[in-house]
Amino acid sequence: MTETGTIPAVARPRQWQAAVIEDIIPQSPRGKSFPLRPAEPFLFTAGQHAEVRLTAPDGYSAQRSYSISSAPEITETFELTIERLDDGEVSPFFHEVAEIGDAVEVRGPLGGHFVWSVADGGPILLVGGGSGVCPLVSMVRHRHMQHSNVPMVLLFSARNRQEILFEDELFGLHRLNDGFQLVLTLTREQMPHPGHYGRRVDAQIMADVIARLPEMPRMVFVCGSNPFVEAASQAAMDLGVPMQAIKTERYGA
């Protein structure tokens, strides 16, 4: 992979193009990361997403949108982290059929609201539920690759320890003690480490993570299911975060 030190100012093609699966990286029992090498440049900003289209021999096609989890500094590939849905039309292909070297159709990057770069400053609070952490991981990786010291806290909610995506990498970045902090909360089991939680995100958890920042967050990014986003956003506003400072992205019904 090629790394650069700058963020692309303009995202080029939004037409469909082929992209080759470069690797398949297990992240959890239901989640895998797929670095894709597109035929044309795919320059994006942390937080954006891409569409994937699969076409059957009979002409039937299905497409889904997935957040990009890689850092924008990596320019030859981009990574989609896909959670398997039993009733999905696209995710079972990636988990059961896809192999390294296969090509899929992609389009993007898409989305200009839920984005962040180090030039935007901070402090920043990231709140992710389940696979909603993926665009937030892109922001965390971007910050790290830019050698930024912008204060940033990632509050990541998962059902259990097995479903913590990017666990080793995120704990490693936390241990650098460079202004990034990881806070985990599990909804179906207790965390064995101090400073983390064993319940759904609530007002007290939100107050605790905001208190870890040197001042109120300049921006809050919340991504997850509809109920998760509603609860986390309301908790942040109840603590004094202005509504216009909170950016949200939702998946599912």
Helix (H, G, I), strand (E, B) or coil at 142: helix
Q: How far is CA 11 from the centre of its chain?
A: 19
Question: Would you say residue 125 has pLDDT above 90?
Answer: yes
Q: Which residues contact 68 (CB under 8 A, 6 or more apart)?
A: 44, 46, 48, 49, 50, 78, 79, 80, 108, 109, 134, 135, 138
* CA neighbor of 228 nearest in space, from 212, 246, 251: 251
Question: Would you say residue 3 has pLDDT above 50?
Answer: no
For 202-237, what is each residue's pLDDT tens digit? 999 999 999 999 999 999 999 999 999 999 999 999
For 13-40, what is each residue's pLDDT tens digit? 479 999 999 999 999 999 999 999 999 9
* CA neighbor of 30 nearest in space, from 84, 90, 77: 84
pTM flag (> 0.75): yes
- Single-letter residue type at 35: P
**Confidence class for position 192, pLDDT limits 50, 70, 90:** low
**Measuring CA to CA, how many Å separate 6 from each of 43, 44, 116, 146, 166?**
11, 11, 14, 8, 24
**Complete domains list, the chain, with CATH:** 17-110 (2.40.30.10), 118-251 (3.40.50.80)
Position 59 scores a pLDDT of 82
Q: Which residues pair with 129 in a beta bridge?
A: 157
Instruction: Identify which has the larger pLDDT, 191 or 183.
Output: 183
Please give the structure tokens belonging to residue 139.
Answer: 């922001």
